[in-house]
Amino acid sequence: MRAPRQGQVDVELVETVGDDVAPEAEPGADWRELVRRVPGRAWAVTATVVALGVGVVGAVEWRADRAQAARLAGTDGLTVSLAEPLAEVWRAPRQGVVGVVGDVAVLHGGTNQGVLGVGVRDGETRWEQPVGGAGWCWLERLGPDDRRFGPWSAPPARLEAGEAVLGCADSRSGGIDEQGTEVTVLDPAEGGVLRRFEVSGPGTGSTSDVDDGVASLGLDDEGRVVAGRWDLLTGERTWAYVGPRVDLDSQGVGSSISGDTMTVASGAVSVTLDAWTGEVVGTEGSTRPVVQELDRLPLADGGVAVSTAIGEERFEIVVQDEDGEQRFLTGGYALRPVADDGSAPQTLLLSSPKRPGIMAVDARTGDELWRSRVSSWQVAVLAGLVILRDEQRLTALDARTGATVWTREDPAPETGVRFVTDGRVLLMPVRGDGGTDLLARVAETGRELWRAPAPVAEGYLEALPDGRVLVIGSGETVVLAP
């Protein structure tokens, strides 16, 4: 007999006689026999193809994960890992973090509680001052970068000892001749009082911290518009203004200080001053609208988007190159993401009070990319998605097209719309059964990862400069970490 060739199988024919019946095959014998008949070389080829496929998929996923990790390494405002539920590290009896100076977290908030300095790692009290309880506190950076940071900065500022001073204002209420504000300037690292001064004068109706100082605006007891500015570092008054008289019996007096301008209006009289110089820059009937800068948003390519308010109703965005040359001008105001991992580098998100939802434009040309009617109180750009949060839901849009990728119904507590993120997972407060929960969702898919009771009711979330999570509730601040 010839030896079978490779791939051939010898078959023996058996003849049955009479009533003999061939035995039935065992269940499943057919497929096993077929498997045994497959040549070894075919199995080797199949195994190689499968291994190559798994390897290619694994390599692609590995590169994608490495690319995402590289993007997140350069992303500001991210938290510690949110892959698993967080545990409480410490809590303090205040409801907001002004900032972190050295190793001290400065906390403020709560009726007549004053300002408190605690160790940022352990929450132990370092110092306490009974100022700011009838007003507010803020950090003023010293030197050329003299920005201000308040308890609603997101995320809270991280400064070195000696780099800033802490200002706290306490306002007095009462009759028009009893109003005023006392400002206390402190060393935020040690809590010592550096100076005190009075932002005084009858009729101080509106007082606010401004760059390098404090400004006030209102009416005096004779009904005249009065205003002034005080230097925070010296306590000296830098300018004073006395303007037209208004009718004290008119229907109301409105005063506001915002950015570089300050305005008071009563009846037919309206005065707007430059907060730096005290010069009149706009009055009722003026043909020159007041321009107020709202925000400067740095862009990935070195440019900047400057959001401005023109008068009382119009908003504009001026997008400039790094050297200040204007690229384009458009309506609305630029949205500042809580986190942006650079996965949509040429996309500028903007909103306008005159239209619902948001719009995306090319940050180089201003050309419209897409519009969405989804509203948002907060936005993040992660893994090629624009993630939006409003009071009822969380929505992810494709950053290139604006198409909805996923949406989840997550009703927020009254004060807890904001979310925080580690770049892969989103954490937000949601209304739970009988209380508030902290809910973690995967950013790319919206899948629920974990849920836990919030440590304080009706709290909102922020991230400390070291990435730990702040839960800020009524009269309490809690720090969470893995």
> Is the model's pLDDT at 236 over the cut of 70?
yes
SS3 104: strand
pLDDT band at 159 (very low <50, low <70, confident <90, very high): confident
In this structure, of 138-147, 150-159, 167-176, the range with the lowest mean pLDDT score is 150-159
The pLDDT tens digits of the residues spanning 360-369 come to 999 999 999 9
Cα–Cα distance measured from residue 167 to residue 196, given in angstroms and rounded to the nearest whole number: 10
pLDDT band at 14 (very low <50, low <70, confident <90, very high): very low
> Is the model's pLDDT at 175 over the cut of 70?
no
In this structure, of 251-260, 291-300, 454-463, the range with the lowest mean pLDDT score is 251-260
pLDDT value of residue 18: 45
> Is the model's pLDDT at 400 over the cut of 90?
yes
> Is the model's pLDDT at 139 over the cut of 60?
yes
| 168-173 mean pLDDT | 80
> Is the model's pLDDT at 12 over the cut of 70?
no
> Is the model's pLDDT at 229 over the cut of 60?
yes
Could you tell me which residues come within 8 angstroms of residue 114 by beta carbon, excluding any fewer than 6 positions away? Answer: 108, 128, 129, 130, 131, 132, 133
Give CA separation, 73 vs 69, 138, 450, in Å.
Answer: 6, 29, 24
pLDDT value of residue 377: 82
- Domains, the chain, in order of start with CATH, read 290-374 (2.40.10.480)
> Is the model's pLDDT at 34 over the cut of 90?
no
In this structure, of 155-159, 277-281, 287-291, 459-463, the range with the lowest mean pLDDT score is 287-291
pTM of the model: 0.78
Cα–Cα distance measured from residue 134 to residue 112, given in angstroms and rounded to the nearest whole number: 6
The pLDDT tens digits of the residues spanning 49-86 come to 666 665 555 555 556 566 667 667 768 789 999 999 99
> Is the model's pLDDT at 414 over the cut of 60?
yes
Q: In what order do the strands lie in the sheet with 304-310?
A: 291-298, 304-310, 314-320, 326-331
> Is the model's pLDDT at 1 over the cut of 50?
no
Average pLDDT, whole number, for the chain?
81
> Is the model's pLDDT at 257 over the cut of 90?
no
Cα–Cα distance measured from residue 126 to residue 108, given in angstroms and rounded to the nearest whole number: 14
| 183-209 mean pLDDT | 83
pLDDT value of residue 130: 93
> Is the model's pLDDT at 439 over the cut of 90?
yes
Residue 2 has a CB neighbour count (10 Å cut-off) of: 6
Q: Which of 431, 430, 428 is nearest to 440 (CA)?
A: 428
> Is the model's pLDDT at 91 over the cut of 80?
yes
**480 and 461 in contact (C-beta within 8 Å)?**
no
Higher-pLDDT residue of 449 and 275 is 449
Higher-pLDDT residue of 123 and 283 is 123
pLDDT value of residue 314: 83
The pLDDT tens digits of the residues spanning 341-393 come to 999 989 999 998 778 899 999 999 999 999 999 888 889 999 999 999 988 89
Q: Which of 482, 336, 296, 304 is nearest to 418 (CA)?
A: 336
> Is the model's pLDDT at 11 over the cut of 50?
no
